[in-house]
Structure 1
Amino acid sequence: MTLYVYAITGEGHPHRLDGLTGVGSRPTPVRTVTVGPLSAVVSEVSEDIRPKRRDLQTHQEVQERLMADAVILPLQFGYLAPDDRAVRQVLEENAAAYLAALGRLEGRAEYHVRATRQDEDALLRRILHDSPEARALNERMRAGESDPQLPLALGELVAGEVRGRDEALAASLAGELLPYAREHVTRPPASPDFLNLSVLVDGEDEDDFLAAHARLVKDLEEGVELRLNGPLPPYSFVG
């Protein structure tokens, strides 16, 4: 029977899985496959698993239940193995790496930080106020000049200003949070975000990290939203 794999855990994890069923249209009980000091948390499936809402939620709930008790190595949605034997083989072959990763993540959790401009008009007003060149181009257009190059020039200038200001603000926001992070990963943000940051935070630093985030939210410039999601399974720091 094909197995869906949720996470890898270490020796001593309590595996409180009673009453927990897994993904798929015919959910089966969640259980473990163990080799030495490592266990894989799995459930049996009889179909291809696609990212449907119910299955995504189940995947997350299983991992959150596990993470509440001890450190885990979470797997991304959709990881399948042909049978128990294949799972045991993977655990045996990668035991040293898995144990090292579990040790590195012990007592830590992942947080996602994203920043978005909610009010682009507010930024445009600031650019027109701060940039004599942008202001001059805008005034020429408002005065009725018909040169087709004017809107192109203004658009390029404003786009460059927006990009530069977003990059500077992203660096500033990250700089305020990274002192509280053990590790971090910065990814290219997807529009309309201009910051996409994942941080690994020690439990003992969590309160200070959350306080720093709250200060940033309070002091944000007009039209900017800073979103925090976590604590989460440390997907970004498993590898």
Structure 2
Amino acid sequence: MSTALDPAVTVGAWLHGVVRDPDPAALAAVPGMDGGPVRAVRAAGLAAVVSAAPLTEYGEEALRRNLEDLAWLERAARAHHAVVDALSRAGAVVPARLATVHHDDTRVAAMLAERQAELAAALHRLTGRGEWGVKGYVVPGALPRTEATGGGGGAGAAYLRRRRAELTARDQGQRIAGEAAAAVHAALAGYAAAARRHAPQDRRLSGAPTAMVLNGAYLVETAGVEGFAALVRELADRHPEIRLELTGPWPPYSFVADGPAEPAHPVRREPAW
């Protein structure tokens, strides 16, 4: 947010993303942050797609409070993503960070003019490409198991041997799964135009019963999506130690200069296969 603000302005502009020339049908497809239509602010040969953002809820002080409210944050993330997703299905888009609010359209236009070269280059790089996510989860049954060795010492000693064997198997399993994840990511990155390996998600977020060892994002040519999916299936067969999950296409959150540090897939989708 800018610091020199006109107190007469009561509705700001929530930035969803930047495109070259928005499709009116895409703008009409989803509501903005306030439930009303989104609109385009044009400058420097680009268009910023924004929502009306009442400053009582989306102003600097209000945002600071609301971003601490997880229920509000989830609603805002879903509404923001729905607009960005609609734009990405119509063409290349540079997604904005969540909660990027400008005081008015004049500030939005100034941003477009100031960052014109950077944004135009990003749109050129993203045209004809989409972000695909590949997650890998440990498959315990496919990992080597360490059998407890025989020996005396009674029930207490036998218990300790079993515990040592379980810990050894778990550590070995995590190592093998980690090595498989690294190999899968290297192969997919070699196919994709660009790749990012994000931190694995906690099970509470992923909803998976086993640990995540791969959380990759891959920028893939639209014409090469079938080949990419085939490669994921081949790698899944080659590495039964991990279960691979392919999702997408997503807007290219992971491949913009000011994109989120963490993977930005706020709405869980069913796996692509």
TM-score class, shorter: 0.7 to 0.9
Where does structure 1 differ by over 6 angstroms across 4 or more consecutive aligned residues? none
CA distance in 1, matches of 2:114, 2:89: 27
CA drift of 1:82 comes to 1.1
Residue aligned with 2:157, SS:
coil
Q: CA deviation at 1:216?
A: 3.2
Match of 2:123 in 1: 102
**3-state secondary structure, aligned to 1:115:** strand
How many residue pairs align between the two structures?
224
Aligned-residue offset at 1:112? 0.9
RMSD (Å), alpha carbons:
2.7
Superposition pairs of residues 75-86 of structure 1, within 5 angstroms: 75-86=96-107
Task: Show the 5 A alignment for 1:1-239.
Answer: 1-10=11-20, 12-16=21-25, 17-18=27-28, 20-24=30-34, 27-46=35-54, 47-48=57-58, 50-53=72-75, 55-117=76-138, 119-120=139-140, 122-123=141-142, 126-128=144-146, 135-136=148-149, 139-140=150-151, 144-146=155-157, 153-154=164-165, 157-191=168-202, 192-218=211-237, 220-221=239-240, 224-239=242-257
State the SS of the aligned residue for 2:41. strand
Q: Letter of the 1:38 partner, please give it.
A: L
* Aligned partner of residue 226 in structure 1, secondary structure: strand
CA distance in 1, matches of 2:173, 2:29: 52
Cα distance, 1:221–1:203 mapped onto 2, change above 3 Å:
same
Q: 1:148 to 1:128 in 2, by over 3 A?
A: closer
Letter in 1 for 2:227: D
Per the TM alignment, residue 151 of structure 1 is displaced from its structure 2 partner at its CA by 6.5
Instruction: State how far apart, in whole Å, the 2-side matches of 1:158 and 1:141 are.
Output: 22
Contact 1:141–1:150 (CA<8 Å) still a contact in 2? no
Query: TM-score, normalised to structure 2's length?
Result: 0.72
Q: Which position in structure 1 is the counterpart of 2:261?
A: none
| CA distance in structure 2 between the partners assigned to 1:141 and 1:98 by the alignment | 71
Q: 1:62 & 1:56 partners in 2: Cα distance?
A: 10
Q: Is the 2:180–2:239 Cα contact (8 Å) retained in structure 1?
A: no
